[in-house]
Every structure is written in C-alpha cells, then in structure tokens.
C-alpha cells in the first residue's frame, strides 16, 4: 500500500464523519491559530518598540525624571529644570554632548473652527529636538531659537493631528486653540512610519517657553534629550551627563537617583526584554491550547478505533500486516491535525490583518512552518496510542467485537 | 487425489480451551482432519459444537491450545504475527456470515484490498479485482458502495474478495446465515462454481440443505468429529442442490 493510497484512505475516513472530524479539526485549528497569532502579536509589539526607538536616533541619551524615590523627606529639589541645560551644554565639562533639548509632554485638546481633537503628545521643546529625534518638517518651516526666547505661540503639527483638526483645509498659517491660548501653525511634520502602541503622527511640537506659559506651567521637565556629537560617543556623553547631573542635583547614591539616564541601545535592550517576555508568555498560553487540541485527537481516534473494530478484524483476516494498520490510523490522525493546522494558519493570517491589543501583528514565516510541523507531530504523537491499540488487536477479538 | 503435493489442511489432535480452572470450557477436544486439494467440505454441527472455533483456527485467526495444524505443508504454530498475516493474505480466502465488506468503500476497492496488502501494483490489482467480480456476476456494480447492494450481492462481493488472491483454501463461515433462500442460492452457486474451478472449499453451516452443496460432510458435536462421510442426497426432493440445471444469467438465478 503506497503512501498516497494511505493518505487517500485517511482523507476518506476523515470525511466519512464530518461533524466529528470537524470538531477535532477545530480544536487543532484554534491551537495553531493562537500560536501563530499570539507570537505575531508579540513580534509586532517588539518591532514597534524597536521602530519607535530607532526614530529617536541612535546618538541620543534620554534623561527622564521621576525614578525611584528613597523614603524620607527630600531636602534637595531633584527635579529636572531648565537650569540643568546650561550645565550640560558646557563644552569643557561635557565635550561629547552636542546639544540638550528640554522636553515637556502632555496630552492636550486642540480646537479649530468647532473641531476638537485630543493630541496624544503635545511637546514643548527647543528646535534642536527635531534633528535629535529624526523629525523633519515636510511643509512650512520649523520654529527657531528666537521663537523660544520670545515665547511665540507657534506650533508644528504631526500628520494625524493636522488631518484630524483641519480635514482637507490647508492648516498652514491657521490658528489652533490649545488650553485657552492660540498657536499659529507654521509647519507640518513629515509622516513617521512604523507601528507603535500609539500613533507617532498624533503629535504637535511648540516652543517650550510658550507651552509652559500657556499649557503646562513652569513645573519640572519631563525629559532632557541629550544628543552626542557622534553615534559612537554616546556612552561618553552619557557618563558626562551622569556626572554633571550627580553634581548639580547632589546625588551621592547613584542606585536611588531621582532620574533615569538611558542611551537608545539601553532603552532598546530593556524594552526588547519586556517584549520577549510578553511573546514567550503568549506563546505558552497558545501552546497549551494546542495541547488540548491534541488530546482531542487522541479522544476521537479512540472512538474511531472502537467504532471500526470489526473493520479492523476484517482487514486482519484479509492479511493486513500490523504496520499497515498502524500507518492507516496514524495517517488518519496526521491528516486530521494537518487540516486543523492549515486552517489555523489561514485563520491566523486573516487575524493578523487586524490590530490586536493596539499592536499590528507581524507573522513570522518560521512560526507558520513550526506550527504546521508541530500540528503533524501532535497528530502522530496523540494518534499513536489509539493506532497501536488498533494494530495490536488479535484478529479473532476484533472480528467478535460487537 | 493421488498427487504428491501435501493436503491443504492437516489437523491432528486439535484442542482449544477457553478460560481457566473451574470455568474452563473445552471448545475442541482432539479434532483430526485432513482436507485435500480441490475438496468441497461442509462442517456441520449445532451451536456450541465447536465449528466456529475450528474455523477460526483453520483460518489462522486464533491459535489452538494444543495439537498440530499444517496448512499447505506449513506448520502454522511456528509462525509469528507477521507471517500469519501473510498466510491469511496468500493462502486463505474468508467469507463471513455477516457481510464483511468495508463500509463507504467501493466494491472494487473492497475486492482489491487483499491484493493491496500483498503489495500488488494498482493497475494489476484493478484488473484482477474486475475479473473476480465478473466471476461472481457483479461486473456492472464495481463502483457501488456496499450499502447500495442487496445482502446476496454483498455476499457475492465477499466471495469475489476471497477468490481474488487465488488462495489455497476458501473458508466460508455460514455464508448464507443472514440471507433469504433466493440470495442463498446465488451465493452458493458462486461457491460451487469456485470449487468446479479447482478451489478447496471448507463451508461451515448448520443448515443441511446448504451442506448438500459439498462433496463431503463432517459433523461436529461437543468438540469432536462424530461423522466424516461423503454427502448423501436429502431424502425429500424439491431442492436440487448443486446439480440443479444452471442458468446463464444472474437475474434468472434470482427468480429461480
């Protein structure tokens, strides 16, 4: 009996009991689809993290406030302030720092002629911020250091923010209301590609002075973005920034300093770790559902063998060797799980077209191959017990079975 | 038969017991039997006489407790599972009481099955299966599935499957047990024909009229052979047995 015949026979047997086979296939399908899709979600989120970090540029160091606070009263004011910028920009103390951009970020409601839109990131900063984060102005022009100094209320809009507020109208030169003040739109930022947890184009950038005056107030800064002179001087710039901040903020114990200072590569590594954990966790949950599907195969093959005991007896009487019967039932189990696997791949590919948990899933080709291989292996593994039971029956017992 | 080749069946002091100790049942207690090539033997006996047990052992489906069984010159007690499967495949053709066709599988595929297990190529297999089906008069039903056929037709397919490998021995266990008279005649006629072509046939039955088709009658009672003699015609007429005038086509046979 050839392999093709065995497969044809198995397909016929599977098709003979459509509902039962269908339910078993469904179990495997859900398992396989879950594995592929959840791994794709994990993969997609890690890609998104990588992209959003890459957008910041590889030559920057981010200093973020609000890290571990030691117990007890704080004597020193340890928040990030504009005053630190001059210290960090000191050429002698920090020869590898090219420039420092202060950042205040908040989410703000913007208004234009009755249209309201909540801009995800309303950023107040200095013009040096744009090249540091690889942002470019697509139309119009950026604001200048002069605008910062004069607290001019001008704003650069991201592509999403612009289209949400203005629709088809040209936003350049229009006045946008933000938090009781009005800002003139001077430029539109180039669209940023990539997937992220939040839309990277739903943002606006304005001079920090104007933002503090009208929107956020003169509180501490959210971030200081330090750009190194070149990409390979980043770690030097980082340690110089660390030294200056420690001195200025009177830090003695670097383990509990009130800010985090991270280069892009460190940020990348930290977030990659997180997303890897996320992927493994999701994959494990999905693998469990695949296991449950496999148990379903054992179950249904047991029923099949019991139901066809007489048929097995006849086949044995006709001289079917043990091997042939074993192959027949194993093939049947493998066909069941392979159909489930293929349908699972299709379901996963369809599912990956949608955004799941705010992440655009990225299906890894290797995960498809793996899931298909695993599904066949599951069929063989979980089918082997019922199949060997069928093959091992004594012909006389099988024939007598009612 | 004075040929030098060995008898098809040589059974000596065959014993089969079921169970252990106090509940032990002796199904066969010392059966001796020789069946020669080309013979047509009927084994008769009431239920519990051990005839099915004998048939299972003769068919290598079950093994005896003690005694010797030599099939076509080979002592089957020395064979392992795989070799027994091969013996069943090459040397024995079965016809069971209940229709033993594989469901949802065409008539042709059913008849091909033993050849497939023997490892024959598909084209040759198909040719032989068609020839066997033509022998039993079902050449036009090759693509049917078993449930589309009548009981008699199904049993004739089973006969075709039994003869397709050209086995040394055809074992028929109550082949007409579940059939009405007309269908029984159809099936028995086909089996008679097989014997005329030289096949060795062992027919197990409890119906005297069916046994009339054979040349030799062996009677079993309580696991022992109590009679072994040539067939004597039944005293009452009306049933012509195998000497009834043969009809040319199947349909006539059914209406006969």
Among B42-51, B193-202, B230-239, name the one with the lowest average pLDDT: B230-239
Whether residue B254 is predicted with pLDDT greater than 50 in this model: the reply is no
**Cβ burial B184-199 (10 Å sphere, 16+ → b, else e):** bbbbbbbbbbbbeeeb
Domain boundaries of chain A, sorted by first residue: 3-50+271-400, 68-257
Q: Which domain holds residue B220?
A: 9-230
Q: Do B82 and A321 touch (CB under 8 A)?
A: yes
Q: Which residues in chain B are closer than 8 Å to A307, comparing Cβ atoms?
A: none
The dihedral built from the CA positions of residue A228, A234, A236 and A237, taken in this order, carries a sign that is positive
Domain count along chain B: 1
pLDDT in tens, A33-44: 988 888 888 888
Q: What is the pLDDT, as a whole number, of residue A76?
A: 53
User: Is there a domain that residue B247 lies in?
Assistant: no
B13 falls within a domain? yes
pLDDT digits (tens, 9 = 90+) for A36-67: 888 888 888 877 777 766 666 678 888 887 64
- For residue B241, tell me if it sits in a domain: no
| Average pLDDT rounded to a whole number, residues B98-110 | 87
Contacts of B247 (CB under 8 A, 6+ apart): B253, B256
Residue A315 sits at the chain B interface (C-beta within 8 Å):
yes
Residue B253: inside a domain, yes or no?
no
To the nearest whole angstrom, how far is the Cα of A24 from the nearest Cα of chain B? 21
B142 in Cβ contact with B108 (< 8 Å):
yes
Q: What is the CATH number of the domain that holds B196?
A: 3.40.50.300
Name the residue in chain A with its Cα closest to that of B125: A1
Q: Which residues neighbour A232 within 8 Å (Cβ) at sequence distance 6 or greater?
A: none
Classify strands A115-125 and A223-228 as parallel, antiparallel or unpaired.
unpaired
The encoded tokens of residue A382 equal 């979980």
Cite the beta strand spans of chain B per DSSP E. Answer: 9-18, 25-35, 40-44, 66-71, 74-75, 92-95, 169-173, 200-205, 216-221, 224-230
- The answer to whether residue B238 is domain-embedded is no
A-B Cβ pairs (cutoff 8 Å, strict): 62
Q: Which residues of A touch B56 (CB under 8 A)?
A: 396
Is B250 within the bounds of a domain? Answer: no
Torsion of CA A355, A357, A359, A365, to 10 degrees: -80
**How high is the pLDDT of residue B4?**
64
- Assigned domain for B221 exists: yes
- pLDDT of the residue at A254: 65
Q: Taking Cα atoms as reference points, which of B235, B149, B158 lies closest to residue B191?
A: B158
Low-confidence ranges of chain A (pLDDT < 50): 67-68, 70-73, 195
Note the pLDDT tens digit of each residue in B113-124: 999 989 889 899
| Distance to chain B for A287, nearest Cα, Å | 36
CA dihedral A288, A292, A298, A303 (to 10 degrees): 180
Taking the CA of residue A30 and the nearest CA in chain B, the distance in Å comes to: 30
Q: Are A148 and A124 in contact (CB under 8 A)?
A: no
ipTM above threshold 0.90: no
pLDDT beyond 80 at B256: no
Please give the structure tokens belonging to residue A358: 């705010």
Q: Between A1, A318, A322, which is nearest B88 by CB?
A: A318
Contact A314 B86 (CB under 8 A): no
Mutate one of A312, A318, A322 to test the B interface: name it (highest B CB count within 10 A).
A318
Write the CB contacts of A2 (distance below 8 Å, at least 6 apart in sequence): none
| Domain-embedded: residue B62 | yes
Q: Is A394 on the interface with B (CB under 8 A)?
A: yes
Cross-chain Cβ contact A16/B104 below 8 Å: yes
C-beta atoms of B117 and A319 within 8 A: yes
């Amino acid at each position: 009996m050839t392999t093709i015949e065995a497969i044809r026979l198995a397909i016929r047997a599977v098709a003979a009991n459509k509902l039962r086979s269908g339910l078993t296939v469904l179990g495997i399908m859900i398992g396989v689809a879950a594995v592929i899709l959840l791994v794709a979600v994990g993969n997609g989120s890690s890609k998104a993290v990588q992209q959003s970090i890459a957008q910041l540029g590889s030559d920057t160091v981010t200093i973020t406030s609000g890290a571990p606070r030691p117990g007890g009263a704080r004597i020193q004011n340890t928040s990030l302030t504009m005053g630190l910028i001059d210290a960090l920009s000191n050429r002698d103390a920090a020869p590898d720092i090219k420039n420092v951009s202060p950042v205040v970020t908040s989410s703000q409601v913007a208004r234009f002629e009755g249209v309201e839109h909540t801009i995800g990131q309303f950023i107040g900063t200095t013009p040096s911020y744009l090249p540091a984060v690889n942002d470019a102005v697509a139309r119009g022009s950026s604001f200048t250091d002069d605008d910062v100094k004069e607290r001019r209320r001008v704003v650069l809009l991201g592509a999403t923010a612009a289209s949400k507020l203005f629709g088809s109208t040209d936003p350049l030169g229009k006045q946008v209301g933000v938090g009781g003040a009005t800002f003139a739109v001077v430029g539109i930022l180039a669209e940023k590609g990539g997937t992220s947890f939040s839309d990277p184009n739903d943002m606006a950038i304005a001079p920090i002075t104007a933002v503090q005056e009208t929107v956020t107030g003169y509180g501490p800064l959210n971030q200081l973005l330090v750009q190194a002179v070149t990409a390979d001087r980043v770690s030097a710039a980082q340690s110089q920034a660390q030294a200056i901040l420690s001195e200025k903020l009177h830090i003695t114990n670097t383990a509990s300093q009130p800010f985090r200072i991270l280069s892009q590569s460190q940020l990348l590594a930290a977030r990659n770790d997180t997303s890897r954990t996320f992927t493994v966790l999701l994959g494990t949950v999905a693998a469990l559902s695949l296991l449950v599907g496999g148990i379903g195969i054992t179950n249904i093959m047991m029923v099949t063998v019991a139901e066809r005991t007489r048929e097995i007896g006849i086949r044995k009487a006709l001289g079917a060797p043990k091997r042939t019967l074993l192959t027949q039932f194993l093939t049947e189990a493998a066909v069941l799980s392979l159909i489930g696997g293929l349908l699972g791949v299709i379901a996963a590919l369809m599912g990956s077209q949608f955004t799941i948990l705010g992440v655009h899933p990225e299906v890894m080709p290797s995960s498809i191959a793996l899931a298909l291989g695993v599904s066949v292996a599951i069929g063989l593994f979980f089918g082997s017990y019922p199949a060997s039971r069928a093959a091992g029956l004594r012909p006389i017992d099988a024939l007598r079975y009612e | 038969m004075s040929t030098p080749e060995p008898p098809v069946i040589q059974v000596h002091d065959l014993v089969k017991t079921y169970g252990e100790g106090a509940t032990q049942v002796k199904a066969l207690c010392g059966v001796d039997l020789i069946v020669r090539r080309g013979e047509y033997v009927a084994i008769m006996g009431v239920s519990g006489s051990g005839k099915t047990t004998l048939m299972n052992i003769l068919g290598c489906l079950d093994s005896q407790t003690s005694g010797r069984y030599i099939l076509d010159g080979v002592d089957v007690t020395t064979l392992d599972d795989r070799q027994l499967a091969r013996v069943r495949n090459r040397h024995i053709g079965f016809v069971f009481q209940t229709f033993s066709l594989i469901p949802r599988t065409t008539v042709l595929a059913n008849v091909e099955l033993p050849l497939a297990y023997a490892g024959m190529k598909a084209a040759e297999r198909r040719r032989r299966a068609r020839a066997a089906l033509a022998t039993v008069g079902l050449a036009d039903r090759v693509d049917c599935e078993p449930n589309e056929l009548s009981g008699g037709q199904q049993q004739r397919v089973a006969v075709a499957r039994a003869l397709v490998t050209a086995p040394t021995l055809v074992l028929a266990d109550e082949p007409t047990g579940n059939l009405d008279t007309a269908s029984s005649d159809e099936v028995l006629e086909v089996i008679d024909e097989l014997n005329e072509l030289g096949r060795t046939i062992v027919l197990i039955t409890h119906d005297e009229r069916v046994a009339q088709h054979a040349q030799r009658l062996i009677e079993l009672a309580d696991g022992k052979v109590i009679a072994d003699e040539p067939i004597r015609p039944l005293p009452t007429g009306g049933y012509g047995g195998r000497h009834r005038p043969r009809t040319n086509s199947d349909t006539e046979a059914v209406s006969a």
